[in-house]
Amino acid sequence: DTEVTQTPKHLVMGMTNKKSLKCEQHMGHRAMYWYKQKAKKPPELMFVYSYEKLSINESVPSRFSPECPNSSLLNLHLHALQPEDSALYLCASSQDAGEYTGELFFGEGSRLTVL
Amino acid sequence: EDQVTQSPEALRLQEGESSSLNCSYTVSGLRGLFWYRQDPGKGPEFLFTLYSAGEEKEKERLKATLTKKESFLHITAPKPEDSATYLCAVQKIYGNKLVFGAGTILRVKS
């Protein structure tokens, strides 16, 4: 069983909708990540939070807005998305903070479809 | 430019037929190389970290090795439940982001 929990598992939204993806971890990790994965492609990094502060933004369009309310929670707010934003959105966490690490614990993902 | 290339793209094995997956990389200043397993529709699952040439890690039927230019994931006597996409990723010194390879899709038939 994964220790990173993502909700919802599936989300269908129109281009004018506002929705949010949620992620929670209780491993005491201090770094949390959002990745985007298209079919048959590797995950692409979007954002990194370290000690609840945004430390990396991989030039992601402003229609994606991350939020880290506390060290256990990570949200991704979605607004005015395009059909090409349809993908599997993965949340991950890692023990280290202040320095990026490659040993990531991923959630099962939220499958997003934009109509 | 940093590059990670995995081969083959897809591999079909019979149960019990051992084989290896390859991950070749060109990176200036490697901090670590990481192997992940991903089942369809799920998030990747961390398997191994390798830091220096000559290092080996084992877990059940899997063994990962590292040279200065590539890493191998050896699968001994695979079972159908080993079917998955295997991803490798490299991380540069000074904490840069992971660079993932495209993955190898492994299918093991009984």
The H-or-E segment that residue B100 falls in is strand B98-100
CA distances from A90 to B30, B34, B54 (A): 25, 18, 32
DSSP tally for chain B: helices H, then strands E: 0, 11
In this structure, are residues A89 and A109 in contact, taking their beta carbons and an 8 Å threshold? Answer: yes
pLDDT of residue A96: 77
pLDDT of residue B28: 83
Mean per-residue pLDDT over chain B, rounded: 94
SS3 of residue B109 by DSSP:
strand
Nearest CA in chain B to A43: B100
Would you say the C-alpha torsion A25, A30, A36, A40 has a positive or negative sign?
negative
pLDDT of residue B24: 97
Burial class (CB in 10 A: 0-12, 13-18, 19+), A79: middle
pLDDT of residue A97: 58
Q: List, for residues B51-63, the tens digit of each pLDDT value.
A: 999 999 999 999 9
pLDDT of residue B53: 94
Provide the pLDDT confidence category of residue B11 given band limits of 50, 70 and 90.
very high
CA distance A91 to chain B (A): 8
pLDDT of residue A6: 98
Average pLDDT estimate for B56-83 = 97
Q: Which residues of chain A have pLDDT under 50?
A: 98
Interface of B with A (CB under 8 A): 31-32, 34, 41-46, 49, 87, 89-91, 95-98, 100-103
| Percent with pLDDT over 90 in chain B | 84
pLDDT of residue B96: 62
A 53-72 residues with CB < 8 A to B: 56, 58
Rounded Cα distance between A109 and A103, Å, is 17
The angle subtended at Cα B28 by Cα B23 and Cα B32, nearest 5°, is 55
A102 with B32: Cβ contact below 8 A: yes
Q: Reply yes or no on whether the pLDDT at B10 is more than 80.
A: yes
B34 with A102: Cβ contact below 8 A: yes
Q: What is the DSSP string of A3-46?
A: SEEEE-SEEEE-TT-EEEEEEEE-S--SEEEEEEE-TTS--EEE
Q: Reply yes or no on whether the pLDDT at B27 is more than 90.
A: no
**Locus of tokens 């083959």:** B8
Provide the pLDDT confidence category of residue B95 given band limits of 50, 70 and 90.
low
